[in-house]
Amino acid sequence: MNELAVAAGVAASPTSATINVSLNGGPVQNISVPDGSVPLLYLLRGPQLGPLNGPKFGCGFGQCGACSVYFPDFGLAARTCQATITKLLAIFAAYGIPATAPLNVLTLEGLGTVANPHPLQQAFIDQQAGQCAYCANAMIMGAIEFLHGRFASTPQNLAVPTTAEVAQFLSNSTFTDPTTTPWTIIPTPYLCRCGAHLRFMQAIQEATPAMMARFAQGQRY
Ligand code: FES
């Protein structure tokens, strides 16, 4: 409901929206919602694209990271509680991307399997990183952006990040806000209410060489 409608005491009519989504490398799905203000998170956890358990509802304000997914085409971990369908389409328009183009979305479920886990998943298991693990999705999806961003930036970043560098990422990550057009960078932490950050840092460091090898092979995550 917009401010004018609130002031007038009148409910604004929702505006429908349609977006094409390829989830975890799968076929393109045409998703229509009766209200474009629906966040991508709801579609992922609901029947339209899910139900998935990887992206979590935490704060609902873009402040914790629990709802993060990775957009390989943009090299960004996005907080889907803030990424409404209308806003995603507006971002497409701002970047000159056709509204019918598929939005490639990678979730925790698309990373690896029990038999063949992704290096970050394996490292989180090895390090027993997490207590309640509600935030594990945030840490892993965010770490993909963190590590690939390092690999892609400068040659000296082809090294295992120091503990201080990982701590900086976890505590003051540059969350890319898809609610603005064009996207803006906001310093935002990845939150863990259990305080398991030491093991997250060790897991991210452990996974770095394997991630580096994948990056060198042209893999996007
Ligand atoms: S639930 Fe989206 S950032 Fe917290």
Question: What is the DSSP secondary structure assignment for residue 133, as one 8-state letter?
Answer: -
Number of domains in the chain: 1
Residue-wise pLDDT tens digits, 144-168 = 999 998 888 866 667 899 999 999 9
Whether residue 83 has its Cβ less than 6 Å from ligand 1 = no
Q: Which of 40, 43, 44, 63 to mutate to test the pocket of ligand 1 (most atoms within 8 A of CB)?
A: 63
Range of the domain at 83: 12-216
Whether residue 60 has its Cβ less than 6 Å from ligand 1 = yes
What predicted TM-score, i.e. pTM, was given to this entire model?
A: 0.90
Distance 216 CA to ligand 1 centre (A): 31
**Atom nearest to 81 CA in ligand 1:** 2
- Does a structural domain hold residue 134? yes
Distance 156 CA to ligand 1 centre (A): 32
- Does a structural domain hold residue 107? yes
Q: What is the CATH number of the domain that holds 40?
A: 1.10.150.120
- Region for residue 24 given its phi and psi (left: phi exceeds 0; alpha: psi -120 to 50; beta: otherwise): left
pLDDT confidence of 1, banded at 50, 70, 90? very low
Check pLDDT > 80 for residue 97: yes
- Does a structural domain hold residue 158? yes
Question: What is the DSSP secondary structure assignment for residue 135, as one 8-state letter?
Answer: T
- Hey, which residues does 18 pair with through a beta bridge? 32
